[in-house]
Each structure stands twice: as structure tokens, then as C-alpha cells.
Chain A
Amino acid sequence: MSDWYRDFANSGVGTTITKQLGLPRPAVLRRHEPGQPLLPGPAVVGSAGEGRLRDELTRLLKDDGVTVVSPVTVDGGTDGDRLAAVLLDATGLTGPADLAAAHDFLAPAVKRLAPSGRVLVLADPPADAASPAQAAARQALDGLVRSLAKELRGGSTANLVQVPLGAEASLAGPVRFFLSGRAAYVDGQVLTVTAADVPAGQDRDRPLTGKVAVVTGAARGIGAAIARVLSRDGAHVVAVDVPAAGEQLAQVANEIGGTAVALDITGTDAGTRLAQQLIARHGGVDVVVHNAGITRDKLLVNMDAARWNSVLAVNLQAQLDITQALLDTEGALKPGARVISVSSQSGIAGNRGQTNYAASKAGIIGMVRAWAPAFAERGATINAVAPGFIVTEMTAKMPLGTREVGSRLNSLQQGGLPVDVAETIAFLAQPDSAGVNGQVVRVCGQSVLGA
């Protein structure tokens, strides 16, 4: 499952050839490893207009041991150090004229961005704007960031975080995530935070210490990667999969010191059975990851009821039923619980031959958005993650041409790894992500599909 083309493009002769021919040159992405510093180099924080977050961002970076250089040094360009991250506080925008300041700050800074660098823009949501001009300026950032993300090379990413007034306390977790190696394959995204009670004192290396996490579809592929990452971050993982996958499921559970539960999630009493086991064996659950999913591809006109029904039952109805059962069973969801559903790029962009699959995955997005306010009321969150082209055993079986083209159709010019999806889920599961609710985070390297 290695990316032979990426390896070739990064080899000595490969670099020369791909440069000469103008071929894509996918980078080796900076991915998270425990104990790693937040950033491998210095960061610069600038602002457009009189923003309210600049000092806060600088303090946050310094807390994490990041050297923060001033924009002046950047402009001078005498300093040999390349920048690991460029942060723009755009909360001071009043109208389109202020955007010139954004350009003035970003252009020289981005020029000096190191490989796997990060551009992160923070702004207020356009919907909260005081005037059409202000809304226009805020919305303009969307186009700016998405375009910049497409211009960046060398594994660098650009993302936008919208911070409403009063939600400043929710910022630290998402900022750390986007700057870190955990967000290696998250590019060109807009995330909106909300005001929430963010607990203090999260363990940086093991943010899920003492938490119980249940992961469905955990026997292989992305599900197994999610189980491993949640366990690495300190959680006890209850790994769920269909009884027939029990052998691999036991191996995953044993590898990470978790618990294996063989369960058909479409069973009528599956939610209640799971809730009761979680209460009896683990005193409830902190993190629920709805990952189990199946595909039964056919063009709509050729699709029989069995294909349609099984995909909707596993991918969507089971998520609704199990979540409802956990909500209804006293003590099943612990305070501050996190529910994370795995959606898909197909659910956003659609995909030929996948009317059933895309319907189920789009349905998930509707589900998390509708449930978010009720979850917020109990101090919990519910979010979705939408993977793009992720290299798994399944994609390894695709024809070479389709696979190669499919994996390059994004700004990072490569397929993501299961661990990239898992890292984003682990981020949403953290206590620090209390202010991220009802969001859909795409893990797609800024795919051209459905962008």
C-alpha cells in the first residue's frame, strides 16, 4: 500500500525527472508522533484589522514551546529559518478594504513557509457580521484560504477557523490540531467553533487518558487505525465488529489492550446490548465512533432493494439507533461524551454507482447537524468526519490507473492514510474539542471532488 509514485518523486533522480516534466510532486507529509513538538520550527502571527485573538494565539504557541517571530522579521527575509506556521488573526475585518492587510501579511510569510507548513486563518463567522460589507470581507477569507491551499506545495496546508464572539475559549484545541501533524491530510477546510466549557489540564501526549471509547467496524482498515490511535492517546477501546470478523477483531483488541465485542450493529437490540455492556463492564462510554460501513455499488437503475437496504441499514440507520439507545440508557453516555460519525466524500460530492452509499453518508451529515444542539445541552458533542481518497486494502484492489488518478485529485497530490482519518477523530474526541459541535471535517487533502 506504499505510494510508489510519491517515493519516486522524492528520490534523487525522481526529483529531477518530475521537475523537468512538470509532473505532480507529492510530499512526504509530517504526521504526528507522540512526544513530537507542536511545530518543527518557528511560527509567525499577524493580523488584518484590530483583531482580538492575536495575543491569545501568541501565548498559546509559546505555551507549546513554539518560537514566535514577528512579521517584520518575515518581511525582511534575512533570517534563514523557514516558518513552520503562519497564523492570521482576521477577527478585526470591517470591510473588503481590510483584506489588503491580510494579503500584505500572508504573501511574504507564505513565501518562507517550510515543507509541511501550516497556514491558519482565524475569523468571525460571516453570519454574525454587523454589516454586508463586513460579511463580505469575512466570506472572502473562504475563497482566499481555499485558493491558497491549492497553491501551497511541499505538504503544506491552509485552513480557516471561524470563532464567534464569546467562543475564544474553544479555540486552543482546534488551533493545536491544525498546526500539528495530526492534521497532515486536512486541507482547505473551514471549521466553526462554538462557546463551550472547555475542561482545563488536558494531557498533551495522552489526551484521552481514562476515557472509554467504542469503535464500530474496528477489525480492519480505517476502523482498526481509529482504535489504535484512540488507544495511543490513552483511551480504553471497546472494539466492535460483526461476529464473522471476530478473529481480526480479537487481534486488534489484543494489540491495543482493548476489549473485543462481536455485534451485528443492525440487530434490533444492538444498541441496548451495547449500552448495557458498556455500563456493566466500563461504567459507560466517553467516545463513540460510528465507523462501520459497507458498499454495495451499482448504478441506480440496476440496484436491487437488497443493495439499497443493507447499505442504508448499516451506514445510517444503525448509527441513529445506537446513538439513540445510548442517549436513552441512563448512565451509558458519560458527561462530556463525544460522538463521531464517519461520513464520506461521496456523501458530499456524490459518486457514480454509489447512490445508496452517498445517500447514507450524506444522511450522516444531516444527523450530526440536527443532533448537535441537544448534545451541546448535555455538554457533549457530535461531529462527522468525511474521508476522501484513503489508501486501504479496499483501494489497493482498484485498477492502477483509477487508483493513481483518484489519489492525485487533491491539493496534496496523494491519497491519505487511515491514520489521518483516525487522528481527526481523535482530535474531535479530546476534552479540548468541547467547542467543536455539529461540524463535518473533511480529511481529503482538499479533494477537487465536492470542494
Chain B
Amino acid sequence: MAAQTRKAAIVGGNRIPFARSNGAYARASNQDMLTATLDGLVARFGLQGEQVGEVVAGAVLKHARDFNLTREAVLGSRLSAATPAYDVQQACGTGLEAAVLVANKIALGQIESGIAGGTDTTSDAPVAVNEDLRRVLMEVNRAKTVQQRLKALAGLRPGQLAPEIPRNAEPRTGLAMGDHAAITAAEWEIGRQEQDELTVRSHQALAAAYDRGFFDDLVTPFLGLSRDANLRPDTSGEKLAKLKPVFGQGEGATMTAGNSTPLTDGASAVLLASDEWAAEHDLPVLAHLVDAQTAAVDYVHGGEGLLMAPAYAVPVLLARNGLSLQDFDFYEVHEAFASTVLATLKAWESPAFCKEKLGLDAPLGSIDRSKLNVNGSSLAAGHPFAATGGRIVATLAKLLHEAGPGKRGLISICAAGGQGVVAILES
């Protein structure tokens, strides 16, 4: 192992445009999307037949048959078949966690290059058999005689034919993620208007970035889609104000289909490498992954919001790197819901939260909002769970590169299960 560590370089990225659930990618599988995304990356950087150190990716909604999803995607891609791969899954943090894992192996000198990615489809989601039916079938499988088999089959009931469809809900609370976010929004008194304003800004910023060609070398069209299907460049505060709340209850409900991310299909990938590998391949270094941190909160019994873990992870990361929250040129805070972003920022501004929950003497303070999600984020682009991290890492790396050397960016991604993944990139 290398005596000294080094910072992994982000060379570039690729994603397919994100499609709304049951839209353009209704018949595409996770493997189809991840393979196409890898192939787009290969074409962009001339990596045909290249043996990359490791490909790490994952999906949140995953078929049992996809146990080796990433390796299968590699075998179907134009990368060398001798490229190893493994799957990871950390809910919506999957993509960023994959990038951190690849970066860490590069930092340790265990690999020279790697690809981190993620893919998710809610249109081609796995459907499992009813738990009762599954038990009966397993019993039949274990049976050794015809008699035993018949006895096991006698346990079959019509009601067992109803399939188990995956839900976007927390197993321990039974609440949808949006319902959890609504609790947090109410707790932090996040208003409807500020959520809608953040949403409008996300759509406008993403559309403007497309218009100026920012995504020309970050996105490869797929199945006829060349921009994110969820993008509404002409949306406005007035239009969003007309939408009825879908999460939360009664008069105080503020979260609508507009200021929440829709179910989305898509995939993304990021190419990371050592500086030496990038130079040998005449490839650019957009930024380096400086450091990362995860955190988790007890949203079941501990009274913390399901999506508040990044609020805890960031101060740890800042302290370790001797930085303040204001020492950044760009902030990429994943827009699971507009209210989540606003609650997180409000928490960092709150002396009480920072003292009681984070154990800090002073609050982290506020950030310059003009540096937040400057090219739009998940509210506009959509959020195929595992693909969001790759989208954000590549977007931020390019932003930092455009801004020039020595610029710094913070990524904050909340995830199901009360988790959060955050990271610092630097050009």
C-alpha cells in the first residue's frame, strides 16, 4: 500500500437524460440504462477496450437477478471485459458513496482509475410475490415426497396472488418519504412560497445550463430523450401555487408535486483517476475529491427528521478540513424536496440546533444562496435515486473547473433510512 495518500481526480462524467416514471424509459431496465451510460462515457473519453481499475455502481430498486448489476453492465459495455466491478447501495446516497469508494481506492494507490455510477428505474421496478405465497413455494421446494408436496401446495390461497410492489416508504414507520419530509417542513416552519421559489429557480437554472451547452459533455441522449423530461423551463410561482399539497395534512400542508421530486428513471457515471493516469491518457482533471463524510439520524425514536442527516455530516466534514460553511464557491444540496433543502439550511443557521444537536458553540451560519445549485438540481432534473450522486459530482466538478483553480464545492445528499452523504470537491 502507498505510504502517502493522494487526492482522486474527477475527469468527467456522463448521464442519460432523466425520464419521468413510465415515460421514455418505461421499457428500459437498470442494466440497459447503466450500460448506455457507461458506453457514453467510453465514447466521450475514448476508453474502448480500456481496463479501468474498478467500476462501482448500484441501484436502489433492484431485481434479485441483478445481483451483479454493475459487472453485467461492464460486460455489456465497450470497456475491457477484464474490468472488475461491484455493486453498492445506500439509498439516495448510492451514487455519491460509489464515487467516494472509488476515490478512496485511488487515494490509497490500489487503483489508478475507476468509474462510479448509479441507475434506477421506477418503471421497471422489481415486483415480488406475496410473502405468504413465497413461504408456500419454499415449502414445496423443500418437500421430498409427492405427499409432502401436495400438503404444502394445499396451503395456497387466492389472496396470495396479489404481488408485493415496492413502495417509496420507510419500512420502520410505514410513512412515505414525502410524509416524513412534511413533518420536518412543519417543524422548521418552511413556507409554501419559499419552496415554490426554490423550485422555479431550479427549473430555470437547469434550462439555462442546457441552453448554454453546459451539459453537452455531461449528457448523452437515450431512447429519443435529449433533455431531462421533468424540466419545465416555463414554470412559474403562479403555476406552482395552483398545485394542491400531496404530503402533510390540513391547512399547514405545503409540499406539492411541483416542489417535490417526481419518481424518475435514469443513470449516471463519473470517471475518476489519479492525476498521473489522467495525464497519461491526455484527459483533463476537472476537480479533486477532497474528503467525504456520512451520518445517520434516529428518525424512528430519536425525534429527528428522516432527511436531516446531512445537517450532521457537514459540520464533521468542515471541522476535519478546517473549513467554515462559508468557505465554498458552490453548494450542491440535493433537492429531494424543496423543503428538505430549506430545512437543512435553516438548521445550520439555528443557534439552538447547532448547539443542542451538533454540539457547536456557534451556528454554522447562512450561505450565499446565489452559489446554491447554480445549474439546477433534482427538482428540475428529476431524481433516479442512485443516479443523483453521479449527476451532482460531474456537474459540480465541471462548474469548479470552469471557475478556475482553487475553487471549492460542497455536496450534500440525504438518503432514506435517515442517512446522509456529503463531500468536498476542489478544482
Contact = CB atoms under 8 A, between A and B. Distances in A.
Interface stretch (B108-116, B182-190, B220-228, B384-392): B220-228
A260 B218 CA distance: 12
B46 to A, nearest CB: 4
B45 A257 contact: no
Interface stretch (B35-43, B137-145, B172-180): B35-43
B46 A257 contact: yes
Interface string A276-302: 000011110000000000000000000
B220 A250 contact: yes
B216 A258 contact: no
Contact of B213 (A236, A249, A254, A267): A267
B222 A243 contact: no
Contacts of B49: 257
A283 B215 CA distance: 24
Interface string A250-265: 1101100111111110
Given A246-B226, A280-B282, A262 B39 contact: no
Contacts of A247: 36, 40, 220-223
Contacts of A251: 39, 43
B213 A264 contact: yes
A245 B213 contact: no
B44 A245 contact: no
A31 B42 CA distance: 32
**B contact face: mostly helix, strand, loop, or mixed:** loop
A244 interface: yes
A254 B43 contact: yes
Chain B interface extent, by class: 20 to 34
A307 to B, nearest CB: 22
B213 A243 contact: yes
Contacts of B43: 249-251, 253-254, 258-260
Nearest to A270: B213
Interface string B205-236: 00000000101110111110010000000000
A243 B282 contact: no
Nearest to A259: B46
A245 B282 contact: no
A252 to B, nearest CB: 8
Contacts of B220: 246-247, 250, 260, 262
A263 B282 contact: no
Contacts of B46: 236, 253, 257-259, 281
A249 B284 CA distance: 21
A262 B282 contact: no
Contacts of B263: none
Interface residues of A, number: 24
Contacts of A246: 40, 219-221, 226
Interface string B229-271: 0000000000000000000000000000000000000000000
Interface in B43-84: 43-46, 48-49, 78
A262 B45 CA distance: 12
A262 B216 contact: yes
A321 to B, nearest CB: 16
B416 interface: no
Contacts, number: 68
A264 B226 CA distance: 14
Interface in A99-154: none
B283 interface: yes
Contacts of B283: 281
Contacts of B282: 280-283
A244 B213 CA distance: 11
A253 B48 CA distance: 9
A244 B221 CA distance: 6
A281 B280 CA distance: 10
Nearest to A247: B221
B44 A243 contact: no
A374 B217 CA distance: 34
Given A253-B43, A259-B46, A245 B284 contact: no
B216 A243 contact: yes
A70 B102 CA distance: 70
A291 B403 CA distance: 33
A61 to B, nearest CB: 38
Contacts of A262: 216-217, 220
Contact of B221 (A236, A245, A264): A245
A245 B219 CA distance: 11
Nearest to B36: A247
Contacts of A282: 282
A245 B43 CA distance: 13
Contacts of B284: 280-281
A243 B219 contact: yes
Contacts of B215: 243
Contacts of A236: 46
Contact of A263 (B42, B45, B216): B216
B221 A243 contact: yes
B78 A254 contact: yes
B224 to A, nearest CB: 8
A220 to B, nearest CB: 13
Interface string A48-84: 0000000000000000000000000000000000000
A262 B216 CA distance: 6
B216 A250 contact: no
A244 B44 contact: no
A253 B42 CA distance: 9
A283 B283 CA distance: 11
A236 B45 CA distance: 12
Contacts of A257: 46, 48-49
Given A257-B48, A262-B217, A281-B282, A244 B226 contact: yes
Contact of A250 (B40, B213, B223, B226): B40
B402 to A, nearest CB: 12
B181 to A, nearest CB: 34
A263 B215 CA distance: 10
Given A249-B43, A264-B216, 6 more contacts: A243-B213, A246-B219, A247-B36, A250-B44, A254-B78, A260-B44
24 contacts: A243-B213, A243-B226, A244-B221, A244-B226, A246-B40, A246-B221, A247-B220, A250-B39, A250-B42, A250-B44, A251-B43, A253-B46, A254-B42, A257-B46, A257-B48, A258-B46, A259-B46, A260-B43, A260-B44, A261-B44, A262-B217, A280-B282, A281-B46, A282-B282
In the A-B complex, the 8 residue pairs with the smallest Cβ-Cβ separation, listed nearest first, are A250-B43, A260-B43, A253-B43, A259-B46, A246-B220, A244-B226, A262-B216, A257-B48
